[in-house]
Structure 1
C-alpha cells in the first residue's frame, strides 16, 4: 500500500480587517464653538484661549472615529495656560532684548534654537499623553538627543542668519549684498525636506498606543523627491499663469489684472501645499506599522486637496474670516475619509498602558514658535 504523501492542508489565513476613519463634525456646530472661543479669548485678553484650545481639541477628537470608537482629548486648561504664559513671557523677553541689544538678541536666539528639540519632545509627549482611543492612552518616548539629531540641519539656518546679521553693518553695499541676505533662505530650503523626514521618523518610531509601539523606515531621498517635484511644478504653474497676465498688463493695464495675479498666486500655493502634504502623508502612513500587525492606508490626492485648499482660501477671504470653521471641518472630513487601518487579526487585543503626566509648557512654546511636528 502506497503511503499517502499528499501535503496536509494548512489553516486558512485570517482575512485582512479594515477600519475606515470617519469625521462627523458639523460646520454649524463647530461655528458656535469657534465664535464663542474667539469672543471669550478676546474679552479675557487671551486667558480663555487655553480653555478654547481644549474645547476645540475635544470636539475634533470626539468626532473622529475608527474601529467603532471615537478619540478623546484630556488636556488640562490650567496646565495649558501655565505653558502659554511661559511661552509668551519668553517671546516678550526675546523681543525686548533683540530691540535694545541686537547682538545679545542673537545670542538669545541661538539659545532658543538649541531649546527647540526640547519643545518638540514636550509637544509630542503632551499631545500623546492627553489623547486616547477606547480608554487607551497614547505615549511618546522620544528624548532630547534624538530630537536634536532630527532638527540639527535646520539649526544651520538661524546660525547663518545670526552670522549675516552680526556682520551686515560692516559689509560694503554691493551686488553681493542680496546674495548674502538670501543665504539663510537658501540654507533653509536645502535642509527643510531632510528635517521634515527626520521629524516624521522621530515621531512615529517613538510613538505608542498603550504598550504597542509604532515603526517606520524611510530613506530621506523620498522626501527630497517630493519637495523638488513640488517646487518645479509650482514654478512651472506660476510661469504658465503669469505670462498671459503680464502680456495683458503690458498692452492694457486693467484693475482686474491684480485680482487675477493674486488668484494665480493662491492657486499655485494651494497646489504646492496639496502636493507636499498629500504625498508626505501618504508616504509616512502607508509605511508606518504598529505592533500586533496593524498598518495604515492613506489615499490623499493632490487634485482633491488642492481644490479644498483653494476653495477654503476664497471662502475665508470673501467672508472676512467667518467661514474658517467651515473650511476647517471640510478639510478634516476629507483627510479622515482617506485614512484607514488594516490588520490580519483583531485590533482589540492591543494592550493598554498608563500615560505619564507631562507639563504643557513645551506644547505651548512649540505652537508659539511654529514648531510643526504633526503627521
Structure 2
C-alpha cells in the first residue's frame, strides 16, 4: 500500500503548480542606463568650506581638542554630502559623542606614553613599538568604523577584512621591504590597496582590485628612475662645466642641475601619488561595473605641489581652498560604466564598531585612506 501525503502538503503542491512561471527577463526589460558611463560630481565650494574649516580650528583649539570629533564629522559630512553619483549623494553618519569617547581613550594612551617617556626613555621606545605593532589592528578597526558610517544614498558601506589577514600582510611587507632594501616597497602598497578594496562593499556590491604588484612597481619606481637619469645627465654637464673652466658653461650647467634638483623635490612625490591613484582606480570594479579615471598625472602632481606652496605662503589660511581643489579634481576624474542597477542595492547586516581605533589613528597622525 502506498503511503499518502498529508492533505496540507498536497494542497501546497497544487497551489505551486498552478502559479504561472515568470518569463525570463528580456534585454529590452533592462533599464536604459545600464551599460552607460556616469561621472562623479562635486558641488563643494572653497569659500563655503572655509567657514566650516576656520570654525573647526578655532573651537578645537579653544576646547583643548575636545571639539575635534564634531570638527571631523562636519568636515566629512561636507565632503560626502557634496559628492554626487547617479543623482545620489554620499553621507557620513558617525556620531561625534561616540567619536569623543574613542578620542578620550586615545588621548589617555598617548598621555600615558608621553609622561612615562619623559620619566624613562625606554618606556617611550616601548610605546612606539606597541603602536607600530598595533598598526594592522588600527587599520582594520578604522576601516570598519569609517565604512559602517558611510552611505551612498540609502546603502551603507561595509568592510569585512580580518585582523589576522592584516597582520599577515603587515609582516610579509616588512620582510619584503627589509630584504629588498626598500626597492620592493611598492609591493606593500599593493598589499594595502588590495586588502582595503577587496574587502569593501556598498550595499551587496563588492569592490575588487584587478591588478598586480608589478603595476605598483611601475607606478612608483618609474618616476624615480627617470629622475635619477635626469640628475645623472645634469651632473655630467656640471662636471664638464667645471672641467672646462668656462664661466658661461659652468653657470648654465649649475642652473640646470639646480632646476633638476628642485623638480625632484617638488614633483616626484606628487607624481608618484598621481600614478598610484590612476593605477588603483583604473583597475577597480564594483560588482560588474568598472571604474575609470581620466586623471592626468602631471596635472595632479601640479595641483599637489602648488597646494604646498600656496599653504606655505598663506601661513595655512589657504588650506581649505587646497583641500577642495585636490578633492574636486580626484572625484570629478572618476567615472563608472554602470552594469549593476543602483535602484536594486540592499544593505548587509553588520555590527556597529566603536571609534577607538579611528581616534588612535588621528592622535598618532596615521593616515589610513584609500
Q: TM-score range by the shorter chain?
A: 0.7 to 0.9
Secondary structure of 1:119's counterpart equals helix
d(CA) in 2 for partners of 1:213, 1:61: 20
**1:299 aligns to what?**
294
User: CA 1:100–1:284 in 2, change beyond 3 Å: closer, same or farther?
Assistant: same
d(CA) in 2 for partners of 1:93, 1:187: 36
**1:30 aligns to what?**
49
**2:200 aligns to what?**
207
Q: How does 1:115-264 map to 2 (within 5 A)?
A: 115-155=134-174, 189-190=182-183, 192-236=185-229
1:230-280 C-alpha deviation (Å, 9 max, x unpaired) = 2223445566789999989x989xxxx9xx96x976643442233222222
Normalised TM-score (structure 2): 0.79
User: Does the aligned pair in 1 maintain the 2:303–2:326 contact within 8 Å?
Assistant: yes
**1:77 aligns to what?**
96
1:64-109 C-alpha deviation (Å, 9 max, x unpaired) = 1111111001111112122222222222333344444334444443
1:105-148 C-alpha deviation (Å, 9 max, x unpaired) = 44443332221111001110111011101111100011111111
Secondary structure of 1:189's counterpart equals coil
d(CA) in 2 for partners of 1:338, 1:198: 24
**1:351 aligns to what?**
346
**2:282 aligns to what?**
286
Say which one has the larger Rg: 2
Secondary structure of 2:91's counterpart equals strand
User: CA 1:26–1:87 in 2, change beyond 3 Å: closer, same or farther?
Assistant: same
Q: CA RMSD in A?
A: 3.3
2:39 to 7, 20, 32: 20
Deviation at 1:22, TM superposition (A): 0.9
d(CA) in 1 for partners of 2:322, 2:133: 35
Aligned residues: 333
**1:176 aligns to what?**
none
**1:366 aligns to what?**
361
Deviates more, 1:71-80 or 1:103-112: 103-112
d(CA) in 2 for partners of 1:107, 1:52: 31
User: CA 1:358–1:345 in 2, change beyond 3 Å: closer, same or farther?
Assistant: closer
d(CA) in 2 for partners of 1:234, 1:214: 34
Gaps of 5+ in 2: 1-25, 249-253
Deviation at 1:28, TM superposition (A): 0.5
User: Does the aligned pair in 2 maintain the 1:154–1:191 contact within 8 Å?
Assistant: no
1:190-229 C-alpha deviation (Å, 9 max, x unpaired) = 4532221101000011101122222223322221222211
d(CA) in 1 for partners of 2:184, 2:98: 34
d(CA) in 1 for partners of 2:292, 2:238: 41
Q: Report whether the alignment pairs 1:112 with 2:131.
A: yes
Q: Report whether the alignment pairs 1:319 with 2:289.
A: no
Q: How does 1:38-77 map to 2 (within 5 A)?
A: 38-77=57-96
d(CA) in 2 for partners of 1:111, 1:310: 34
Normalised TM-score (structure 1): 0.78
Secondary structure of 1:128's counterpart equals helix
Deviation at 1:299, TM superposition (A): 2.1
